[in-house]
Structure 1
Amino acid sequence: MDQLTKDIVRGVLSYIYGPGILKKLSGEFRIEVSKTGGLRRIYLGDRLVFTIRASDGRPLPTLEGARLIDKVVVVSRDAAPFVKQGRSVMAKFVVDIRNAVPGDEVAIYSEDGELLGVGRLMLSRDEARSVGRGVAVKLRHHVKGDAERSNQ
């Protein structure tokens, strides 16, 4: 992969997820390309941090990539076990939404600072607080909880 393509991908990531991501992507940055020349995956070292959505080419963070982005939803301690089971985040459990608007991909953290998952934000901060019901974040990937680990 040539340097120009890497610079373009870094620019797109910076535009979507904020300029703070560029410092975090300073390591060994690798892009996987399909046989037809389309972008597939983005790696930092040997860790998969973003996958490219085929329909529109948007980079979506994996659980590893969620640690790199600054768009964050903080949920209450009560909701953490449910998110670990793969359930979407309900509006009444949202404590804070930072640097994100509806439609953004966000990292989901508990109040204790534990990464729980990554998903698409459906409601704004004001909507989540005022409505207090419905899905605030549709979950895409989640950290496996203790119950899930014991079943496998």
Structure 2
Amino acid sequence: MREFSRSLPMALLRAREAVMRQFRPSLRDHAMTEQQWRILRALTAIDQIEVSELARATYLLGPSLSRILRDLEGRQLIQRRSPESDLRRGIVSITPAGLALIEAVAPISEEIYAEITRRFGAKKLETLHAMLRELEMELLAIPVRGGAEEAAED
């Protein structure tokens, strides 16, 4: 068995932690968790989305997503509704207050991205993105051993 520190999952987690360490103070300053921010960012790209699709897009498990959506709705950052055709389905959209929060945090986020790019290098960062996309596609083509897939959660 390979050394623990050399496992791919641990290397990816360490890199993710190093990246998120840069963003967490800004999120905290705006009373946001990483998962809440992830949801709001996903919602800025679309008018509305079904809850199940949002869970897949943000890699959050249903029970956690439900709790987070309840909190975001309580802060009036998102709106939830059920279509009349199927009251079991939930549709989520971002509110003007949610968009205003995104606009407040975005400049800080862009400053952090600029610093990461400056330190790591634009070419290396683009190469990293390309390699991560390639790794994801290659691994998605491999059947999962042992049965059902599970969603990742923070």
TM band (smaller chain):
under 0.3
- Which one has the bigger strand percentage? 1
Return the TM-score normalized by structure 1.
Answer: 0.23
The structure with more radius of gyration: 2
Higher relative contact order (CA 8 A, sep 6+): 2
- Which one has the bigger helix percentage? 2
